[in-house]
Structure 1
Amino acid sequence: MAIDAILKSRPISHDLSQRAVHKVIEVGYHDIRKLGGSSWEERTRVLSDGGYNRYREQGATNLGDLAELVNDKYDGDLNNLLKKAHNDRNETRQLVKEIKGLGDLGADLFFNNVQSVWPSMAPFIDGRSLQTAEYVGIGTDLDAIYADLGRDSMRMSRLANGLRIVNIAVGVLMVLGGISQFFPASMSSIIVGIYVIIFGLIVGGLEFLPNVPDYVYRYASFLFSFLGRGGFYIFVGSILLHDAVLRYIAGSLIGVIGLGYLALEFIPSIEPPSNMRETDQGWGAEQV
């Protein structure tokens, strides 16, 4: 799970990072003894074979550092980290961040997964996924969500990862739909395609940031309201609905998700979060 967090905390597509994780497991590097006995060149080659090309050198270094840390500080068993932290989440987080390659985002990814085997870390959902949970009406009361899941830490882990993937998937659909605009090429279709690709990169890219920058709230505040995000998705989906099958598929899926967001606005039982209420927004207001 530490390896998974290290590789996925880089700004790289989910599919590529997942392929790299599978390759690392396939060669047995999830065994700390085998990972510790590997050379930097071997780890680099494995990551490259898994499609992790852009960050393979740094990734190979971080994996080597991970093996060294676990062997030297935790007697070859990362479970000893939890014992050293006295099952306290804050202490555990500080120790986890000592792993090179894991910052706040990486620590969040680690906790999303590790709660399935370290129940004392449950319930946990990273900040961005928790915001998605509120968008879709699940709410942000982790204890209540955990209770609804039967206090099953494995199910909690799956939920935490699933919510994050929803937003990434929408971004990917936008990028693919934008690329499809280039064929057949015309000046207008290329311009539309570039805009849609940028929109997709923004929507998906926000999932890789530990905190949303203040300027995003200021200049793209529509992304943080049911009506705004729903209308935005419907707009992007509608401009993709023409000519090619891929455009119809991407546009339809994005549009349907947009309609879902619009519907949430008119369901009284689902209250928007504070940063999605018009009265809470200010041109220079501090975002909490």
Structure 2
Amino acid sequence: MGRDQRRVVRALVDAHGQTYAEEAGIRLKDTPQPLYRLLVLAHLLSARISASIAVAAARALGEAGLRDPRRMAGADWQERVDALGRGGYRRYDERTATQLGDGAGLLTERWGGDLRRLREEADGEVPEVRRLLQEFPGVGPTGADIFLREAQLVWPEAAPYLDRKALRGAERLGLPAAPDRLVALAGRAEPAVLAAALVRAAVDKDVAEDTLDRADRPGDRSDG
């Protein structure tokens, strides 16, 4: 007998449903500073480096006061490098420090430091938002996907946003690869939370194994 897919999704979300923004200490709201910090986090997470290091680096940048584009652009390059280093983000620190400065300048000059204006320019059309996000140095398709996966919590027109990495997590867990079906299985769980949990299963086999173990344990099988 196959596993109850609803139990698998519930086990995944309950145990591993923390967004990366939350892990990085970002209280996501539809306001300029949290959205900018999310963009920085998405940039860091898109590099070939562990998510834990990217999250730590995002925290370190915040602790250094580099929480908005004007402060980021106005900071000394070495200040950005040092903050990234404190987070353990050393492999790409010099290039990333430059990109963060340039990207902050672009955001300030073109959209007044407010990503909501980028959203308005795109008329809320998610493919256009995704394209515009890739104009920031260092934010390619992967970074844009990460941003939208998390931003769907406050930009509901993006939901459900389950990119290829999230769908790889679903495949690893024996779940359907259709976003609408996954959201239906998740019930009341926020799509952003579901997406983050699926990505964690995609990148960490221990998360996937733990989820399936939890789903197989005897207990309440109701959907409530």
Q: Do they superpose with TM above 0.5?
A: yes
How far residue 128 of structure 1 moved from its aligned partner, in angstroms, is: 2.1
Q: What is aligned with 1:228?
A: none
Identity %: 35
Q: What is aligned with 2:209?
A: 257
Q: Which structure 1 segments of 5+ residues have no match?
A: 171-252, 265-288
Among candidates 140, 152, 159, match of residue 194 of structure 2: 159
Q: What is aligned with 1:132?
A: 169
The question of whether the paired residues in 1 share the 8 Å contact of 2:70 and 2:105 is answered with no
Q: What is aligned with 1:281?
A: none
The question of whether the paired residues in 1 share the 8 Å contact of 2:172 and 2:202 is answered with no
Q: What is the alpha-carbon distance in structure 1 between the residues aligned to residue 192 and residue 67 of structure 2?
A: 19
Among candidates 89, 102, 119, match of residue 52 of structure 1: 89
How far residue 36 of structure 1 moved from its aligned partner, in angstroms, is: 2.3
Query: Match for 2:199: what amino acid?
Result: R
How far residue 166 of structure 1 moved from its aligned partner, in angstroms, is: 1.9
Paired residues for 1:75-94 under 5 Å: 75-94=112-131
Cα offsets for 1:6-62 (capped at 9, x unmatched):
111111112211110111122222222221221111111111111111111011011
Q: What is the alpha-carbon distance in structure 1 between the residues aligned to residue 171 and residue 204 of structure 2?
A: 18
Q: What is aligned with 2:16?
A: none
Q: What is aligned with 1:245?
A: none
Q: What is the alpha-carbon distance in structure 2 between the residues aligned to residue 25 and residue 114 of structure 1?
A: 18
* Superposed structure 1 runs of 4+ greater than 6 Å apart: none
Tell me, yes or no, if structure 1 residue 73 matches structure 2 residue 25: no
Q: What is aligned with 2:30?
A: none
Q: What is the alpha-carbon distance in structure 1 between the residues aligned to residue 87 and residue 122 of structure 2?
A: 34
Q: What is the alpha-carbon distance in structure 1 between the residues aligned to residue 130 and residue 104 of structure 2?
A: 18
Query: Match for 2:54: what amino acid?
Result: S
Structure 1 or 2, whichever has the larger Rg, is: 1
Query: Match for 2:170: what amino acid?
Result: A
Q: Residue 12 of structure 1 aligns to a residue in which SS? A: coil
Q: Residue 52 of structure 1 aligns to a residue in which SS? A: coil
**Cα distance, 1:151–1:32 mapped onto 2, change above 3 Å:** farther
Q: What is the alpha-carbon distance in structure 2 between the residues aligned to residue 85 and residue 29 of structure 1?
A: 27
**Cα distance, 1:158–1:107 mapped onto 2, change above 3 Å:** same
How far residue 106 of structure 1 moved from its aligned partner, in angstroms, is: 1.2
Cα offsets for 1:127-186 (capped at 9, x unmatched):
02113214424423323433555676xx2112111211123222xxxxxxxxxxxxxxxx
The normalised TM-score by structure 2 is 0.71
Q: Which structure 2 segments of 5+ residues have no match?
A: 1-37, 217-224
The question of whether the paired residues in 1 share the 8 Å contact of 2:39 and 2:147 is answered with yes
The normalised TM-score by structure 1 is 0.56
Cα offsets for 1:226-280 (capped at 9, x unmatched):
xxxxxxxxxxxxxxxxxxxxxxxxxxx69x939x59x99xxxxxxxxxxxxxxxx
**Cα distance, 1:89–1:122 mapped onto 2, change above 3 Å:** same
**Cα distance, 1:127–1:159 mapped onto 2, change above 3 Å:** same
Q: What is the alpha-carbon distance in structure 1 between the residues aligned to residue 115 and residue 188 of structure 2?
A: 24
